[in-house]
Amino acid sequence: MITTVTQKNMVTVPAKIAQQYGIKPGYRLEWKAVDGEQILVRVIPDRRELSRRMLGKGRSLAPERDAVAELVEERAREG
């Protein structure tokens, strides 16, 4: 797919690419020069999506623990 750079150096992400990679408003794109004629573009989701992806990741590290319950207990002891 080919896109055109505007006078303000803006580029439109083609709809097919946006759908394929889940690019939504608020996401950022990181541009990195690979060599003289190639650029690598990395999709950086917004904070909401990043936090959604992290939800539950700690359970695999300590499945027998309930970190939220531990935090509630700790706060109750402090207060």
What are the pLDDT digits (tens) for 52-77? 878 777 777 777 888 788 889 999 99
Q: What confidence tier does 48 reach under pLDDT thresholds 50, 70, 90?
A: confident
Please give the structure tokens belonging to residue 32. Answer: 């990195």
Please give the structure tokens belonging to residue 64. Answer: 């027998």
pLDDT above 90 (res 8)? yes
Q: Which of 40, 47, 32, 2 is nearest to 13 (CA)?
A: 2
Q: Which residues contact 28 (CB under 8 A, 6 or more apart)?
A: 43, 44, 46
Tally the C-alpha atoms within 13 A of residue 5's C-alpha that lie toward its C-beta.
3
Q: What is the pLDDT of residues 15-30, one digit of tens each?
A: 999 999 989 888 899 9
- Of 41 and 47, which is predicted with more confidence? 41
